[in-house]
Amino acid sequence: MLERTRLSSQIDTLANFIRREVPGEPSQSEGAVDCAMRIIRTQQATIADLQGQVEAWHKRVQEADEAYYAVGELNDALQQRVAQLEGELKRYAGCGHDHSTAWWQLRCEDMENDKVILQRHLRESAEQLGKLQADHARVLGLLNGILKRNQGGFEKDDSDIRLAVNILKEAASLPVQPAQGGAK
């Protein structure tokens, strides 16, 4: 009988806790134990969902890193090609040949066109690199915010989960910001 009284007292304590501490609960007609189990299952599902989102963000960071380095390599190659073409222009301009011939005029025009095209590609690559740097920094900041707040794990209450969801929702709604620093 003493055990039954103690169990009943604990169930009453659980019911009072749920009414007092869990907003909107009890939301269904059920006992305190069933309500607690439903809340726990919901929180477990939310945690699993957030862990999946964090993994997806980690993958996006890795993809952004790869794209960032690929654009950087392309940028370097384009800068080298522009420098090469500028050197050729200087060499042809000072070679002492008769530049009034049609062949020389066409060659110089072709090289000028190549230079303009490569300079445009270089500008576009630099812009893309800036966008990737901004995305990379933003995703890293969000992940660091989640991980710092939770120090690698979620607490038993759902405030950490709500915070992580709010951070991820906020991130999804933010416009892409220009990169801070980085390659020029």
DSSP characters over 21-90: HSTT---SS--HHHHHHHHHHHHHHHHHHHHHHHHHHHHHHHHHHHHHHHHHHHHHHHHHHHHHHHHHHH
Report the C-alpha gap between 151 and 32 in whole angstroms: 31
Summarize pLDDT for 9-27 with one digit per residue, the tens: 998 898 888 888 888 888 8
Whether residue 28 is contained in a domain is answered as no
Helices 159-173 & 32-93, crossing angle to 10 degrees? 30
Residue 59 lies in a domain: yes
**CATH number where 52 lies:** 1.10.287
Q: Is residue 136 part of a domain?
A: yes
Counts of helices then strands in the chain (DSSP H, E): 4, 0
- Per residue in 79-95, pLDDT (tens digit) is 998 888 888 777 666 55
The residue segments making up the domain with residue 136 are 39-173
pLDDT at 32: 86
Domain assignment present for residue 148? The answer is: yes
| Choice between 147 and 152, residue whose per-residue pLDDT is larger | 147
Residue 90 located in a structural domain? yes
In a domain, 8, yes or no: no
Task: Please give the tally of structural domains in the chain.
Answer: 1
Asked whether the whole model's pTM tops 0.95, one would answer no
Q: Is residue 4 part of a domain?
A: no
